[in-house]
Structure 1
């Protein structure tokens, strides 16, 4: 049987625009600038996973950067989970990573996937990097091929933590967080992929997320960082 490409909704490099990086740096999250290392576009980041046991190659990212966040109510969200109502950055990041690593093309269209993911994004446009989210989703043609093959994935999160660079930056200037309340969290876990006729595989996953958690508000997702950090 011909194997179709597998993908993780967090396995691709993220092309952050210069304006978006400048906005994040402007709120004193210097750690994100360190993660970006002054590069405007990234390839191969956002995934610390190894080779799939199934041998299926990862799909190339071809989502257009011009896509805007759809409204979840427009077309439904399929099986994409709703964001949890939690105010702790690590807990929210772990839930977001599980969402990014899970999908089911048997019951969820690409448009529904994007609509479901948009519900996790901060409503503060200054800090919302929708491009970094859409960069995780295959183009319509590839999604259709995956759907033809009944491809779906689930995820298990093993741990989440603040990277040492973020903790060091926060310790050096604790007040820097108080403008946007954006936290950097690295999450590790495993993704299980399956398709029809018994095909299956598994990959280790890692992703670094920028999570906004303002006081007395539930957390939201601001961006998917360009690289995985320790």
Structure 2
């Protein structure tokens, strides 16, 4: 059976465009991560949103859309939850990870999925990397196939923490975070997938998210980040 996920520990960072990668790294991290070993932050990739190796026929299941922008105005956002109004980066990252790892093709169209995800993003265009998020949503044909199989997924977070390199950078220069108030959080958890006729499977998940939490403002999602030290 087809499924819309990438293989375990495949990279969200791989979907970043050159322009966005330069923008995020150059603007957000230049001051914050100007410490020895910064190059290690951007090697490899974390695993991802839509992964389910326990399900049948997983190996060739991912087909990122060439144009992740919704093609029509959706009616609502289906099963995609609204972003929580919280100012804690760890708590927001946990909620965002659950949102990214969960979906329901039984009552949510692809356009609704994208619209729901968009609501979680920062409105500061200079930092937002929308393509790093939408690159993991299946193309319209594959989404339809998943819908034919009534495929849906739920998720549970087991841990969320700041990567060691990020914590060290903050310790070396605490004021650097004030440029954009973007925090890096690595989240781990478990995703449970199910489809019609009682089919089911489970997959461990891990992702590093860039989350913006400005003082006196609710947090928002900036990007699915490249791999960083745990």
| TM range, smaller chain | 0.7 to 0.9
Question: Which runs of no fewer than 5 residues in structure 2 stay unpaired?
Answer: none
Shift of 1:228: 5.9
Which of 30, 33, 38 is equivalent to 2:33?
A: 30
Q: What pairs up with 1:74-85 in 2 under 5 angstroms? A: 74-85=74-85
Question: 8 Å contact 2:80–2:99 — kept in the other structure?
Answer: yes
Which of 64, 68, 71 is equivalent to 1:62?
A: 64
Deviations 1:161-198 (A, max 9, x none): 00001101111111111010000000000000000001
Counterparts of 1:130 and 1:49, CA distance in 2: 16
Over 3 Å counting, the alpha-carbon distance change for 1:52 and 1:122 in structure 2 is same
The runs of 4+ residues in structure 1 deviating greater than 6 Å are 48-51
TM-score (norm 1): 0.86
Question: 8 Å contact 2:87–2:218 — kept in the other structure?
Answer: yes
Counterparts of 1:101 and 1:48, CA distance in 2: 5
Counterparts of 1:67 and 1:57, CA distance in 2: 22
TM-score (norm 2): 0.86
Worse-superposed segment, 120-129 or 10-19 = 10-19
Are 1:222 and 2:222 an aligned pair?
Answer: yes
Residue 94 of structure 1 aligns with which residue?
94
Over 3 Å counting, the alpha-carbon distance change for 1:107 and 1:49 in structure 2 is closer
Shift of 1:22: 2.5
Shift of 1:56: 3.8
Residue 157 of structure 1 aligns with which residue?
157
Worse-superposed segment, 54-63 or 24-33 = 24-33
Question: 8 Å contact 1:6–1:56 — kept in the other structure?
Answer: no
Question: Which runs of no fewer than 5 residues in structure 1 stay unpaired?
Answer: none
For these two proteins, the number of residue pairs brought into alignment is 221
Over 3 Å counting, the alpha-carbon distance change for 1:80 and 1:70 in structure 2 is farther
Secondary structure of the 1:75 match is: coil
